[in-house]
Amino acid sequence: MVLRSAADRPGAWAGCCSSPAAPARTASPPEETVEHGWWQRSASGSSLDLLVVLGLVSTARAVTDLRLDAAAVLTATVLTAAVLTVVVVALADVTVRMAVPSRREA
């Protein structure tokens, strides 16, 4: 008996996935809880805060004509630190924005 891979039968995988016996999946609406509302407001506010901060940094850099050495900016350590800083600031912003209304409305 010779076993063949799925690559030898290109229509086999498509036939398995698109069979009419497979139940249709419908997207369920998100939960409409108080916590979900807090999360939506904190995440959207944090995104706006992050855009404002990055815009202010870019504007300050353009106005002061600060020159950055490309070799220093593109090193893995500096780039990783910059990305990590942005992520940590965004997570801290979401946390603070989530904690304030939850304490206020609880």
Domain ranges of the chain: 33-105
For the CA atoms of 91, 92, 98, 104, what is the dihedral angle to 10 degrees?
A: 180
Structure-block tokens of residue 106: 């609880």
pLDDT at 48 over 70: yes
Task: Say if residues 97 and 45 touch (Cβ distance below 8 Å).
Answer: yes
Confidence band (pLDDT; 50, 70, 90) for 14?
low
pLDDT value for 72: 66
Q: In terms of C-beta density within 10 A (0-12 exposed, 13-18 middle, 19 or more buried), how is residue 104 classed? A: exposed
The answer to whether the beta carbons of residues 97 and 46 sit under 8 Å apart is: yes
Residue % of the chain over a pLDDT of 70: 65
The crossing angle, in degrees rounded to 10, of helices 34-63 and 76-105 is 140
pLDDT at 3: 52
CA 42/CA 54 separation, integer angstroms: 18
* pLDDT tens string 75-105: 767 778 888 888 888 888 888 888 888 788 7
More confident residue, 60 or 20: 60
